[in-house]
A and B are shown apart, each in its own frame.
Chain A
Amino acid sequence: AQTVTQSQPEMSVQEAETVTLSCTYDTSENNYYLFWYKQPPSRQMILVIRQEAYKQQNATENRFSVNFQKAAKSFSLKISDSQLGDTAMYFCAYIADSNYQLIWGAGTKLIIKP
């Protein structure tokens, strides 16, 4: 079965600190994609970063980067120089090319304190 696990229900850090959110997944597929989505309190889900499983290089988007460990089935998100606007629920998600439904983790509530 395809599953996504986020083991940190809630995290809190000071503004400007670096924070890492963890995500592990289980799959027998060879071709798949991994995503981190962010849902701020206003509720609109926004894509933060995306990683293709066939790419060895870790994806980066400005202050956001991932540590993709394919053999360990791990996909953590690092947020550098955290900002108040980063406060949100963060969801790790997976999609395989055998079906196009996103499989979601339970989410991590991230609070950035001033």
Chain B
Amino acid sequence: EAGVTQFPSHSVIEKGQTVTLRCDPISGHDNLYWYRRVMGKEIKFLLHFVKESKQDESGMPNNRFLAERTGGTYSTLKVQPAELEDSGVYFCASTLAGLSEQFFGPGTRLTVL
């Protein structure tokens, strides 16, 4: 069974540009999470989808970040316009039920210059 996949693995963009990250969860996992680790800091929760609905988006830093999960399958996280402080590793995770083990993707390393 395929695990959680993320695309791209790396992205280098200039300040002010737009970047879209994609996450494909494990098939059948209704719960999808986005996390972010900024260099030298803790991993922080961004948001949680249950199917196509946003269950909790309390961790989204500001309105430059937009997450979608159309059809309850893959999810995208768009940053527009990107700022220097957005640099970090963005992780996606999925799980069958809310408190079950979260399975993580390899992450997308975003560098904003």
Contact = CB atoms under 8 A, between A and B. Distances in A.
Interface of A: 4, 33, 35, 37, 42-47, 50, 91, 95, 97, 99-107
Nearest 4 CB-CB pairs, A to B? A45-B104, A101-B45, A104-B43, A100-B98
A94 B80 CA distance: 31
A106 B42 CA distance: 5
Contacts of B88: none
Contacts of B72: none
A88 B56 CA distance: 30
B56 A100 contact: yes
B56 A101 contact: yes
Given A47-B101, A95-B99, A97-B98, A102 B107 contact: no
**Which of A4, A95, A97, A102: most chain B CB closer than 10 A?**
A102
A28 to B, nearest CB: 18
Interface in B65-113: 89, 91, 93, 98-99, 101-107
Nearest to A32: B99
Nearest to B31: A100
Nearest to A95: B99
Contacts of A101: 33, 45, 48, 56, 58-59
8 contacts: A47-B101, A47-B103, A97-B98, A101-B56, A102-B33, A102-B102, A103-B45, A107-B43
Nearest to A37: B104
**Which of A47, A101, A105: most chain B CB closer than 10 A?**
A101
B8 to A, nearest CB: 13
B99 A102 contact: no
B55 A105 contact: no
